[in-house]
Amino acid sequence: MLTGHCQCGQLRWEADALPTHETACHCSVCRRCSGAPLVAWFTVPRASFRFTQGTTSRFRSSEHGTRSFCPTCGTQLTFESSRLPEEIDVSTCSLDDPERVPPRDHTFAATRLSWVQLADGLPAYAGARADG
Ligand SMILES: [Zn+2]
Ligand SMILES: [Zn+2]
């Protein structure tokens, strides 16, 4: 069971699934939505994920994307795409223990900030991962 929470603790979530698509995303939308140079995410089946405490705020961040965050402290929690209705992406650093789900690659590396230097040896994809 994966469990996590926002910074203020009002929102708690759990997912009864193995994470997939663990990545560090360098896209400009993740960056802007978090105020951080990159955001780590992983994917679980939408059916396996639920909030166990609190109610998120949600907004459309792109034509197909909807993001949720804590209305009190602003922690970004999930990303959902209308093109992938069976999946939900969860922000890795909202995990109770982010060490459990390290990124396995970098996505949208073409828009990586010049002052973010990667030295972890992981694959870096210019855009989304080729296998989606
Ligand atoms: Zn919060
Ligand atoms: Zn992104």
Distance CA 12, CA 34 (A): 18
Distance CA 6, CA 132 (A): 27
Say if 98 falls within a structural domain.
yes
Question: 45: domain CATH number?
Answer: 2.170.150.70
Position 48 scores a pLDDT of 98
Say if 86 falls within a structural domain.
yes
- Looking at the structure of the chain, the number of domains it has is 1
Say if 126 falls within a structural domain.
no
Say if 60 falls within a structural domain.
yes
Position 131 scores a pLDDT of 56
Q: What's the rounded mean pLDDT across residues 25-32?
A: 97
Mean residue pLDDT of the chain comes to 96
Q: Which of 112, 111, 110, 58 is closest to 88 using CA atoms?
A: 58
Q: Which of 104, 94, 118, 106 is closest to 12 using CA atoms?
A: 94
Position 15 scores a pLDDT of 98
Question: Which amino acid is it at 20?
Answer: T
Say if 130 falls within a structural domain.
no
Say if 11 falls within a structural domain.
yes
Instruction: List the domain range (segments joined by +) for residue 26.
Output: 2-111
Ligand nearest to C-alpha 76: 1
Q: Which of 17, 23, 18 is closest to 93 using CA atoms?
A: 23
* Cα-to-centroid distance, 29 and ligand 2 (Å): 6
Q: Per-residue pLDDT tens for 37-77?
A: 999 999 999 999 999 999 999 999 999 999 999 999 999 99
* Cα-to-centroid distance, 26 and ligand 2 (Å): 6
Say if 128 falls within a structural domain.
no
Name residues with Cβ closer than 5 Å to ligand 1, which is an ion: 6, 8, 10, 70, 72-73
Distance CA 4, CA 10 (A): 11
